[in-house]
Amino acid sequence: QVQLVESGGGLVQAGGSLRLSCAASGRTFSMYTMAWFRQAPGKEREFVAVITWGAGSTSATDSVQGRFTISGDNAKNMVYLQMNSLKPEDTAVYYCAARQGAALWRRWNDYGYWGQGTQVTVSS
């Protein structure tokens, strides 16, 4: 059974930075794709960034391009989301997601494994 545990959320002022971490366990993740999604109150869950664990290919949604970076540490089974130049509109619960296979999937229902989420709040 795949388990994902996020950490690193918190309260930060606009313009600040946070690094989210996702600890993955329960499988050999070399042939998995990992992603970050977020959900703000009253809004649908939206794609943020994705990485294919084996090749390390990445993609991110336009609104975070140049500000957020997804990365992975294969040896530690960790995935990270470095978030810089944070804006109030980045406020949301951030979720780590995983699925077997190697492609840059962007829809939330492409993923079968989810963490519990970590709250990110950006004050203006």
101: number of Cβ within 10 Å? 10
Residue 63 to residue 77: CA distance in whole angstroms: 27
Kindly write down the DSSP assignment for every residue of 96-108, as one continuous string: EEEEES-S---SG
In the predicted model, what is the mean pLDDT of the chain?
A: 95
Q: Beta partners for 38? A: 46, 94
Place of tokens 């960790």: 78
The predicted-structure confidence for 37-95, as pLDDT tens digits, reads as follows 999 999 999 999 999 987 889 999 999 999 999 999 988 999 999 999 999 999 999 99
What distances in angstroms separate CA 100 from CA 2, 70, 97, 113, one per listed residue? 10, 18, 11, 10
Per-residue model confidence (pLDDT) at position 29: 74
Residue 63 to residue 78: CA distance in whole angstroms: 24
Give the distance between the most distant pair of CA atoms in the chain: 41
